[in-house]
Structure 1
Amino acid sequence: MRYARRFTAVLAIGVAASAISADNLPPAPEELGSIRRNAQGQLEVVRTPPASQTSALSAQDDLLAGKEAAQGNALEKKMPGAAASGRTIVVGPQEPVTSIKEAARIARDGDTVEIRSGEYRQQAVVWTQNRLTIRGTGKRPLLIADGDSAEGKALWVVRSAEMSIENIEFRGARVPDANGAGIRLEKGHLKVIRCAFFDNEMGILTSNAADSVLEVEDSEFGEAPKYYTGALHHLLYVGAIARLSVSGSRFQQGFRGHLIKSRARENSILYNLLVDGTGGSASYELEFPNGGLAWVIGNVIGQSATTDNPDLISYGAEGQRWPDNALYLAHNTLIDDKLDGRFLRVWTSRMPPGTEVWAINNLLVGRGTFAPQAPGRYDGNQVVDRSMLVDVHALPFALPSNSPLRGKARPPGFVREQSLTPIAEFHLPAGTRLLPLGKPLSPGALQ
């Protein structure tokens, strides 16, 4: 089970699959000499259609057999052992299907699209298939917008009930509204695994579909465009959906926008590296503008001295949207290089009275201020100077082995029947490593 699921219940997704027009699917072939009963109840012989009317799948089979397809208008590769519920379509310069747009045209519910390594330009598409898996094979395939967009929204627009995208890099999304995304999720349940989003006006952008779910694992976001036309460029911007889960992912190099901004009803932000970097000018590193339920555990979160906003984490700035609101902040390393910065700001005047905040065993590094701002628990938070941290596995955010704080954190306990104890930590370049069972905990994210 992935780490994010320890803290969130799996939600039932009631999104119907989008309709697919008939011309997206190859016609069904009819066999020579088969017999069927007509509308009058009489038996009749079905004749073989002309070769020019053979199906796209038959044409592909002929091609794979070394024969020329009669039409060649839909090229699709069947893989041995493919699941009965779907086919595998392989895309690549040396494959029968050379275009992602062509793969999107012929893909059906339950299919898998494999994209070979390489550079793919102007391959903006809308995905409407249900239970679709898209994955890059080998070195991560690179998708470059090069002025192209799907519906003026994104490189890829997703409108499906269930979809997985793995090992793809998205670059350069630009649209007239200045919110061009690498991926735009409009409805459904989307899992993004080991992907990268650089130099897009938005890395991932979602709609406000109340039953949608977005899960992001082991992915990288960065290089926000350095221009401002009235729209902020967030690396990850999530609307009022049911649930957001982000784990093992890295966010850096923002520009005026946020690293993560989420309006979701429930949020799990676990074991990530959200550090803008030297010279970074992001606004909030992590924001929940409408509150909701937020689990923030085991992250390294840092803002630079040149940040565009003094607050590192913000909760409730735009007021209540959801009936259930609470922030649980445990075992994070919070780094603030801004002289007048704040590690956490809770907008209590804009949220319901009694909104609960727990801040437990966080390591507070740098110049920022930290103070309780809402009812809850505030235990084991430790302030240290930036100079006291050392590199561990190339991450310069850990307590040294001889620190008096090492192994001194008390167990953070449970809330809502969920444990706040970290079970993993971030691992470069993106991903997580499991923590040894039974090891005494230290404050902060890196154990």
Structure 2
Amino acid sequence: MDGLSVSRKHKVNFIIVGIALLLLTLGNNFLVLAQTNATALGDLVARMGARSWAELQTIGLTKELVSSNGDFRHVLEYTDKAVWYPAGEKLFFIGGGHYAGMEFISYDAKTNTWQELSDPYWFPGVEICHAYHCNAIDFNRGLLFFLMCDSRMVYQFNIEKNQWSQLPENTSGSQSFAMALEYFPEIDGLVHVINGEVNILNKKTSQWSNLAKDLAMGDYHNFAEYNPVHKVVLLGGGNDSNKMYKLSANGKITALRPAPFSLAISRALITVDPVSGDYLIFGGNDKFSAYDIAADSWTPEPSPTVPIFEKVADESNIFGCVATPVAGYGVTMFVKLVLEQGARAYLYKHADAGTPDNILKVGPGRTYKKPSEAAAAAKDGDAVEIDTGEYRGDAAVWTQNNLTMRGVGGRAYLNANGIHAQGKGTWVVKGSNTTIENIEFSGATVPDHNGAAIRQEGRNLTVRNCFFHDNENGILTDDDLQSEILIEYSEFARNGRGDGYTHNMYISRVGRFTLRYSYSHHARIGHNVKSRAQENHILYNRIMDEQAGTSSYAIDLPNGGLAYVIGNLMQQGPQTENSGIVTYGAEGLSHTQNEFYLVNNTMVNDHNTGQFVSIATGTAKAKLINNLFVGPGTVLSGAGEQITNLTTSSPGFVNNGLFDYRLTNSSPAINAGSNPDLANGVDLTPVYHYAHPLAAEVRPRDERIDIGAFEFSAMTSTEELNRVPENFVLEQNYPNPFNPATIVRFGLPMLGNVRLTIYNAAGQLVRQLVSGPIDAGVHEVVWDGTDNRGRRLSSGVYLCKFQADDFVAQKKLILTK
């Protein structure tokens, strides 16, 4: 059998293998994008270099297509945004001319043709349409959204079903002729922007809510543009306004530095590059600029070599152009009105898909023998690739910005062995916007006994698939309320000196800290997770002492702040030095917003006494919702609202002794929870559960949510995984779209000869997952997005083909950034 090993009982084993294989080949955070030769679009993109323009020759992009109501009032006049549907490789937009009606237009990359689609049922009677920034898409579900001008009505188009429907009206929101609409995947919601007002439609609850009412922006011609790389929405603009804001997935709106020119979308064009995440902004007397939202910085770009700036309306400086990032191809498409000729399609490739231009390679046979040598040579924006193996007694200071350091061929092992940089730790990171991937750290000690494997002094750090063990601190950060720290898919073990002042991780007063899909355990006397951040998102982790651990708290948030602790597995062992599990505000509430939300966690106390949660006096709001508390001790010390929690000594776990806290069908937690609802615009409902080790799976959804970190269903039932199906079946992969890995499930009613393969959009075989005889039953395989040679594949649409004897089935898989 080729590919990954297969089992019908333990899907977690596949996650381990799949993630491990993924991380052996993990490349730049911005994935290589598909440039298939199967389409004219792909052919052209393959010939383009970075920062280049090209015209795409297409069929049907005529003067008649972009005219409205029989005269040449152009539907591109008062429209500036299209959307791209990766699964179908199609572009869509509803366009409008001034008092000239609307048209629904599509481009199919597979056939390279344009067409006018049937009018939606709500078109008749519409005389004026300022479409502007009112097209949006949920490409996961294949749903197009359109906000009707001068109304509060949002319409939804199911692309696969070719069906329109109306969404709930935003009865409390404002309306005008030139508003903005965007879909935000991370919150599964629509963002509506108008005249300083920001509203959200939660697609799960079908309820509108208001995030802001008086932001400084123009009263007309606003914009909202999702960034698929940075997972935020840039919004603002309006007449005579250069104000910009960043909307994050937690509902937080952050003011950015004003643009160098007005961002009214009648006179500016705003889109985003799908590779780098730079916003591409046209305006200000024919200026073309790239805006980096992570650095909040502007870069002038060379003038376009195509007529983007040519004006098309006498009454204003209207471009007559729509734009959209084209996921899977690494370009942005512009559909530009050309007077008296119709329209033309242009492509712009801002950044080459792939790794950064300058990669510094580290290893025994490389230019740089150890990481410290690369640190001395690196420049801003470089990537440092460190070959697998042990680097003993090496420490480094990283001063550059926008660096990526990663292990390749497996985890690179940095055993400091007591060697340190600047008396602070193994790696002292002074630059901003740093990403560290696939590296193991140990042996960080310094003279003052407060050393760290990573000492973060710059702004913004991402740590992914790293292992920190046997250091004084795993990670220690400096204070910076503008900084954001993200740790995911990483393990922390046995860090701390045993003095109570050193911890597995110690996050100081930063703006936002996110810990997800990670495993922190066996801290030495200190805490498994300690954070003084202004805002904390601790999501879907395993935080435990197990049998021999001696940590103090599982989670310590000593200064309060805004905290969301959702979907975690937490356990206090019998050898612990402190009987508390989670503490909030124990050293004083020093932030302006002090709210604590503990939702759908499973917390087990194997100590003979203790308290599960401690809340400081003065906390503005504390809610404990749907948590499963197992073992002795006080559930809550301090004031807080408790909603549908369960305290029991008989939780009905699969195996308590092995810390397998999934539910069996006898658990009293099943169907005992309630809807967690929203807090500060954040949906508290868990969407994943932790899968050991260092992974996450989509949490199944039932009519009523279960209490605790797991949902009981066929997905977690041992009996269900052991069942033999009546027929051959290939199920849809999950998650889909996916990154970094996805699970493919198939079933056989009898022993069969199975071939499970992955093809790219050009029909080329790229990965063979299974080939050989497989027993009857339900089986699962993880595909990590790599080909048969272990190379990371480009984002795009792939086909999974399942053959079992004479049975053949196939499913579309979408690999995203």
- Asked whether the equivalents of residues 669 and 708 of structure 2 are also in contact (C-alpha less than 8 Å), the reply is no
Tell whether 2:555 aligns with 1:286: yes
Unaligned runs of 5+ in 1: 18-80
SS of residue paired to 2:460: strand
- Asked whether the equivalents of residues 8 and 268 of structure 1 are also in contact (C-alpha less than 8 Å), the reply is no
1:386-406 superposed Cα distances (whole Å, 9 cap, x missing partner): 6732249x7522221232431
Aligned partner letter, 1:128 = T
- Asked whether the equivalents of residues 255 and 282 of structure 1 are also in contact (C-alpha less than 8 Å), the reply is yes
RMSD between superposed Cα atoms in Å: 2.4
SS of residue paired to 1:188: coil
Match of 2:545 in 1: 276
SS of residue paired to 2:485: strand
**1:299 equivalent among 568, 571, 578:** 568
Match of 2:645 in 1: 381
Match of 1:93 in 2: 364
Structure (1 or 2) with the larger CA radius of gyration: 2
Shift of 1:82: 8.0
Match of 2:810 in 1: none
**1:148 equivalent among 419, 424, 428:** 419
Query: How do residues 246-395 of structure 1 correspond to structure 2 at under 5 angstroms?
Result: 246-348=515-617, 352=618, 355-371=620-636, 373-375=638-640, 377-385=641-649, 388-391=652-655, 395=659
Match of 1:431 in 2: 695
- Asked whether the equivalents of residues 16 and 161 of structure 1 are also in contact (C-alpha less than 8 Å), the reply is no
**2:671 equivalent among 399, 403, 407:** 407
- Asked whether the equivalents of residues 206 and 238 of structure 1 are also in contact (C-alpha less than 8 Å), the reply is yes
Rate the CA distance shift 1:225–1:370 in 2: closer, same or farther, 3 A. Answer: closer
Shift of 1:380: 0.8
Query: How do residues 194-205 of structure 1 correspond to structure 2 at under 5 angstroms?
Result: 194-205=465-476
- Asked whether the equivalents of residues 654 and 663 of structure 2 are also in contact (C-alpha less than 8 Å), the reply is yes
User: In 2, Cα distance between the equivalents of 1:387 and 1:415?
Assistant: 28
Match of 2:462 in 1: 191
- Asked whether the equivalents of residues 496 and 525 of structure 2 are also in contact (C-alpha less than 8 Å), the reply is no
User: In 2, Cα distance between the equivalents of 1:306 and 1:374?
Assistant: 28
SS of residue paired to 1:422: coil
User: In 1, Cα distance between the equivalents of 2:701 and 2:587?
Assistant: 40
Rate the CA distance shift 1:302–1:135 in 2: closer, same or farther, 3 A. Answer: same
Which structure has greater strand proportion? 2
TM-score when scaled to structure 1? 0.79
Shift of 1:232: 2.1
Match of 1:171 in 2: 442
1:177-206 superposed Cα distances (whole Å, 9 cap, x missing partner): 111111011121100001010000000001
TM-score when scaled to structure 2? 0.44
1:138-177 superposed Cα distances (whole Å, 9 cap, x missing partner): 2211100012111111110111121100010000100011
- Asked whether the equivalents of residues 477 and 507 of structure 2 are also in contact (C-alpha less than 8 Å), the reply is yes
Match of 1:182 in 2: 453
Higher normalized contact order (CA 8 Å, seq sep 6+, divided by chain length): 2
Query: How do residues 56-71 of structure 1 correspond to structure 2 at under 5 angstroms?
Result: none
- Asked whether the equivalents of residues 15 and 187 of structure 1 are also in contact (C-alpha less than 8 Å), the reply is no
Aligned partner letter, 1:364 = F
**1:442 equivalent among 687, 706, 709:** 706
User: In 2, Cα distance between the equivalents of 1:147 and 1:115?
Assistant: 21
Aligned partner letter, 1:219 = S
Match of 1:68 in 2: none
Shift of 1:295: 0.3
SS of residue paired to 1:98: coil
Tell whether 2:393 aligns with 1:122: yes
**2:403 equivalent among 124, 128, 132:** 132
1:295-317 superposed Cα distances (whole Å, 9 cap, x missing partner): 00000111112211111100111
- Asked whether the equivalents of residues 186 and 207 of structure 1 are also in contact (C-alpha less than 8 Å), the reply is yes
Question: How many residues matched?
Answer: 376
User: In 1, Cα distance between the equivalents of 2:448 and 2:514?
Assistant: 27
User: In 2, Cα distance between the equivalents of 1:125 and 1:10?
Assistant: 36
User: In 2, Cα distance between the equivalents of 1:253 and 1:84?
Assistant: 37
Aligned partner letter, 2:585 = G
Q: Out of 311-320 and 431-440, give the one that drifted further.
A: 431-440
Shift of 1:128: 1.1
Shift of 1:8: 5.8
Tell whether 2:517 aligns with 1:243: no
User: In 2, Cα distance between the equivalents of 1:360 and 1:387?
Assistant: 17
User: In 2, Cα distance between the equivalents of 1:317 and 1:182?
Assistant: 27
User: In 2, Cα distance between the equivalents of 1:318 and 1:418?
Assistant: 26
Aligned partner letter, 2:524 = F
Aligned partner letter, 2:521 = Q
Rate the CA distance shift 1:335–1:7 in 2: closer, same or farther, 3 A. Answer: farther
